[in-house]
A and B are shown apart, each in its own frame.
Chain A
């Protein structure tokens, strides 16, 4: 009930904070320590872009502008067919509209867009926030390598895919797969028709898929 202890506690807390080092980071003089995957600016790796327009279509506020044209590549072999490919003319992101949702980066099938932690691109004029292709490409230099995976994290999708055996191959030994990943059985591989019939499959057909290991359930 007495107000005294709380009052003294307030004084003690402030005094103790005053004696400790401060938390202030003097930003313009000291670079801030940004966490991994910081969303500063979107960088463009132009060589990867196929002008597929997926990013521009998915962008919620329509701040990506893409212009491209088709070029014909003459046939390399005699009597072959000419091929066409897209050439990127303009790729621009208007950062005065961008809301940094990152959907364009998620949706890009060719890894042409990347997050860069660089954030110091404020402009006096709003119109200067429209970054064209070359400026977006310039940000690529500041894109950090992806951070290391956590311990016990799941395998990255591309490595898992590379470790997977080719379809129908390497099943004879039971423990298949390239890269020597041990007894782990890839789930998506269609099992051989020959084998012990599944107990719940009934007598439908001998071609019914059955797992090579008894523990593995059917998809």
Chain B
């Protein structure tokens, strides 16, 4: 009996361990793939939230300038501050993300696309599979537009009052409270 116990060719000890290790490599690889994907999704949600918050700040920022475009620079500064507070002050992303704007001043800009956006670079891969890494370029966009500035309101109200007080009857004007 003692001789048989030492005879490796007839012993099945360790077989399940070897099989477990072989299959465990694959299971572990896919486990880490899904873990990585969950991190990508979590970062993505946070990024969308930051972009949306920045877009809201961009929409309403106003410094009371009498010129119609006088608040546009301030709007992007405010949006950037909100975005950076959520994204770039945390260590979650491990990268500096640049917020960009689509303003009405941009050439051929559709008014539907006025707002802010940013790109998040992430990746996923299957550990153990060579060259399985895929880089992801995730675009987070929020195009809420811009509220009319006080400068625009002043100009439009001024135009209407001028129309009312003019002696000419060539044009009809209506003065109403449009929320400005």
Query: Do A and B come together as binding partners?
Result: no
Which residues of A line the B interface, CB within 8 A?
Answer: none
Chain B residues at the A interface, C-beta cutoff of 8 Å: none
